[in-house]
Homo-oligomer: A and B are copies of this chain.
Amino acid sequence: MSVHKGEIVTILKSKGLRVTPQRFAVYANLRSRGDHPTAEQILRDLNKEIFTSSQATVYSTLQTLREVNLIREVLLQEGVSRYDANVSPHHHFRCWQCQRIEDVDWDTFPSISLDSLRAGLTVDSYEITIRGLCEDCQ
Contacts and interface: CB of A to CB of B under 8 A. Distances in A.
Interface string A102-123: 0010001110111011001111
Interface of A: 73, 75-79, 81, 93, 104, 108-110, 112-114, 116-117, 120-135, 138
Contact of A77 (B75, B77, B120, B135): B75
Tallying the copies of this chain within the complex gives 2
A50 to B, nearest CB: 31
Contact of A112 (B113, B114, B128): B128
A117 B93 contact: yes
A132 B121 contact: yes
Contacts of A124: 131-133
